[in-house]
Chains A and B, each alone.
Chain A
Amino acid sequence: MYVELHARSAFSFLEGASLPEELIAAGLELEMPAMALLDRDGVYGAPRFHLSAKRNGLKAHIGAEISVQRPASNSESSSVCSVPVLVRNRTGYQNLCRLITLMKLRVPKHAKPGECVATSDELAAHAAGLVCLTGGFDGPIATAINPRDTENTRKAQSTVEWLIELFGKKNVYAELQRHLDREEEARNHLVIEIARRNRLPLLATNGVCHAIAVRREVSDVFTCIRNHVKLESAGRLLAQNSERYLKSPAIMEKLFSDLPEAIANTTELSSRLKFTLEDLGYEFPKYPVPSGETMASFLRKRTEEGARWRYTGANGMPTYERARGQIERELTLIEKLKLEGYFLIVWDIVKFCREAGIIVQGRGSAANSAVCYSLAITAVDPIGMDLLFERFLSEERGEWPDIDLDLPSGDKREQAIQYVYERYGKLGAAMTANVITYRGRSAAREVGKVLDFDEETLSRLAALVHTWEWKDPKDSSERQFRDAGLDLNQPRIKKFFHLYQLVQDLPRHLGQHSGGMVICRGQLDSIVPLEPAAMPGRVVVQWDKEDCADLGLIKVDLLGLGMLAVIEDSMKLIRDSYGEEVELAHLPPNDPKVYEALQNADTIGMFQVESRAQMSCLPRLRPAKFYDIVVQVAIIRPGPIVGNMVHPYLKRRQGREVVTYAHPLLEPVLQRTLGVPLFQEQLLRMAMLCANFSGGEAEELRRAFGFKRSEARMKAIEIKLRQGLAANGITGKTQDDIVLSISSFALYGFPESHAASFAMIAYASAYLKCNYLAAFTAAILNNQPMGFYQPFTIIKDAQRHGLKVLPIDITCSDWLCTLEKQADSTLALRLGFRYVRGLSQQTGQAIVRERSIREFAGIDDLRNRVPELRKDELRKLAAVGALNFIQDTSRRDALWQVERVTRDAGELYEGLLEQDGNSPLQQMTLMERVDADFRGTGMTIGKHPVAYHRGELNKLNALRAIDLRKLRNGSFVRVAGWVIVRQRPGTAKGFMFLTLEDETGVSNIIVTPQLFDKYRLELVSNPFLLIEGALQNQDNVISVKASHVQPLSFAVTAAPSHDFH
Chain B
Amino acid sequence: MFACIHAPELPADFSLPEFAYSFSPIVEEVRPGTVVIDVEGCELLFGSAYELANEVMQRAGKSRAQGGLETTVSVAIAGNPDATIHAATYLKGITFISPGEELTCLGDFRIDRLDYSLINVEGKVAEEVLETLKLWGIRSFADFAVLPVAGVSERLGQVGIKLQQLAAGKTERQLKVKQPAPVFANSIELGHALSELEPLSFIFARLLHQLCAALNAYALATNEVCVSMQLEDQTTHERRLSLPYPMRDHKVFLKLLLLDTEMHPPQAAVKSVSIACDPVKPRVLQNGLFVPLAPAPDKLELTLARLAKLVGEHNIGSPALLDTHRPDAFSIKRFTLQTDTGGRKRRKKNKQQVVSSNQQCLGFRMFRPPLRAIVEVDQGCPTQISAWSKQRSVYGKVVNLAGPWRTSGDWWRDDQWMRDEWDVTLERQGQQSLYRIYKEIDTEHWFVEGNYD
Contacts and interface: CB of A to CB of B under 8 A. Distances in A.
Interface of A: 148, 150, 179-182, 185, 216-217, 220, 231, 233, 235-236, 238, 240-243, 451, 491-492, 495, 875, 878-879, 892, 895-896, 899-900, 903, 905, 909, 912-914, 920-922, 924, 928
Interface stretch (B17-25, B74-82, B269-277, B400-408): B400-408
Nearest to A914: B151
Contacts of B405: 180-182, 185
A180 B406 contact: yes
B411 interface: yes
Interface of B: 132, 135-138, 146-148, 150-151, 153-157, 322-325, 353, 355-356, 358-359, 402-409, 411-412, 414, 418, 420-421
Given A148-B353, A240-B325, A892-B136, A913 B154 contact: yes
A928 to B, nearest CB: 7
B450 to A, nearest CB: 14
B136 to A, nearest CB: 5
A148 B355 contact: yes
Given A492-B412, A896-B136, A922-B137, A909 B153 contact: yes
29 contacts: A150-B356, A150-B359, A180-B420, A182-B421, A217-B411, A235-B322, A235-B324, A238-B325, A240-B406, A240-B409, A241-B325, A491-B414, A492-B412, A892-B136, A895-B135, A896-B136, A896-B155, A899-B132, A900-B155, A903-B155, A903-B156, A905-B153, A909-B154, A913-B154, A914-B151, A920-B151, A921-B136, A921-B138, A928-B137
A924 B155 contact: no
A241 B407 CA distance: 5
A892 B155 contact: no
Among B150, B154, B322, B403: residue with most chain A CB under 10 A: B154
Contacts of A148: 353, 355, 359
Contacts of A185: 402, 405
A492 B413 CA distance: 8
B21 to A, nearest CB: 41
Contacts of B151: 896, 900, 914, 920
Given A148-B359, A922-B137, A924-B137, A243 B325 contact: no
A837 to B, nearest CB: 14
Nearest to A221: B412
A457 to B, nearest CB: 15
Among A878, A921, A928: residue with most chain B CB under 10 A: A921
Contacts of A236: 323-325
A899 B155 contact: yes
B150 A912 contact: yes
B137 A892 contact: yes
B323 A900 contact: no
A243 B359 contact: no
Given A150-B359, A920-B148, A243 B135 contact: no
A179 B150 CA distance: 82
B412 A905 contact: no
5 interchain residue pairs of minimum CB distance: A235-B323, A899-B155, A180-B406, A912-B150, A241-B406
A875 B129 CA distance: 12
A238 B146 CA distance: 69
A582 B323 CA distance: 74
B135 A238 contact: no
Contact of B409 (A238, A875, A900, A914): A238
Among A240, A875, A900: residue with most chain B CB under 10 A: A240
A242 B356 CA distance: 35
B408 A241 contact: yes
A471 to B, nearest CB: 29
Nearest to B325: A240
A912 B155 CA distance: 13
Contacts of B358: 150
A240 B157 CA distance: 66
B406 A909 contact: no
Given A150-B356, A243-B406, A900 B154 contact: yes
B237 to A, nearest CB: 33
Contacts of B156: 899, 903
Contacts of B150: 909, 912-914
Contacts of A238: 325, 409
B154 A905 contact: yes
Nearest to A237: B323
A220 B358 CA distance: 39
Given A903-B154, A914-B150, 9 more contacts: A181-B406, A231-B412, A240-B408, A875-B132, A875-B135, A896-B155, A909-B150, A909-B153, A920-B151
A238 to B, nearest CB: 6
Contacts of A495: 412
Contacts of A905: 153-154
A914 B157 CA distance: 15
A861 to B, nearest CB: 18
A880 to B, nearest CB: 11
Contact of B147 (A878, A900, A920): A920
B325 to A, nearest CB: 5
B326 to A, nearest CB: 10
Contacts of B404: 180
Contacts of B411: 216-217, 220
A241 B154 CA distance: 72
A909 B138 CA distance: 23
Given A148-B353, A150-B359, A899-B156, A240 B412 contact: no
A177 to B, nearest CB: 14
Contacts of B157: 903
Contacts of B132: 875, 895, 899
A650 B137 CA distance: 56
Contacts of A896: 136, 151, 155
A235 B151 CA distance: 65
A615 B102 CA distance: 62
A148 B157 CA distance: 71
B136 A242 contact: no
Among B132, B146, B359: residue with most chain A CB under 10 A: B132
A373 B402 CA distance: 75
Nearest to B138: A921
A895 B146 CA distance: 17
Contacts of A243: 406
Contacts of B146: 920
Among B155, B408, B421: residue with most chain A CB under 10 A: B155
A683 B35 CA distance: 82
A830 B358 CA distance: 89
B59 to A, nearest CB: 43
Contacts of A240: 325, 406-409
